[in-house]
Each structure stands twice: as C-alpha cells, then as structure tokens.
Amino acid sequence: MQPALAAAAVSGLYATCLIYGRLVRTTGCRKCSNPMSFLRRELSRRHVRDSEECYEIQAGGYDVDRDAVEVDCRVVRTDIVTYRCRKCGQVWEEKVELPGSGYHPVERRDL
C-alpha cells in the first residue's frame, strides 16, 4: 500500500470517529476519558419534568398582502440518566432531553 493512501485512510477513519461522537452526542468517561458510547452501561433513568418548547414563524413578505406570526410548540421530556463505564467502573449522571411530541400550531396572529 502506498504511504499517501494509508495516510488518507487513517485520517478518514479518525475524522469519522470524531464526527460519530458529535452526532450521537456522547460524552466520555470522566475518569478514563473513554469516548465510545458502547463502553458505558445505563444504570437508571429518572424522569424529571416535561417542558414545552415553542418557536415563532413569521409568514408573509413583499409578495403577500398580510403578515402573520404562527407559534408552534412541542413537549420535551427531560430525564436524568445514570451511566457506569464498563472499563473503569466510574459512575456519572447526564441530563437527556428527548422530544415527547411533534410540533403543532398553537396560535396564529395577523400583524
């Protein structure tokens, strides 16, 4: 194998591992700094609270006669998850927020 091809393969593998950790949003062990998600085990999960997340969308503009604001909301479920590292045994907690429902329109106001 040529050195340039080997270097490209190694750097591609390294970049893929960094992207994987960011996309999955995993945090590594605080003691041994092992970043892999499959080396941690979930011990418990506590439900903390449900919250509502809302955002506003402004519709209209130059080509439409009226301007309007639409408010969409969804429910967000918040849990505290306790993990244990399978390599060193360290225990830590993380706050996990998951969507409990899809966005649904709540209000529409004409400006």
Q: For 93-109, write each residue's pLDDT tens digit.
A: 888 888 888 888 888 77
| Higher pLDDT pick, 79 / 58 | 79
* Of 110, 102, 108, the residue nearest 70 (C-alpha): 108
Q: Where are the domains of the chain?
A: 3-110
Which amino acid, 16?
T
For residue 22, name the pLDDT band (cuts at 50, 70, 90): low
pTM: 0.56
For residue 61, name the pLDDT band (cuts at 50, 70, 90): low
Q: How far apart are CA 99 and CA 27, in angstroms?
A: 20
**H or E segment to which residue 74 belongs:** strand 68-85
Q: Are 69 and 109 in contact (CB under 8 A)?
A: yes
Q: How far apart are CA 26 and CA 33, in angstroms?
A: 12
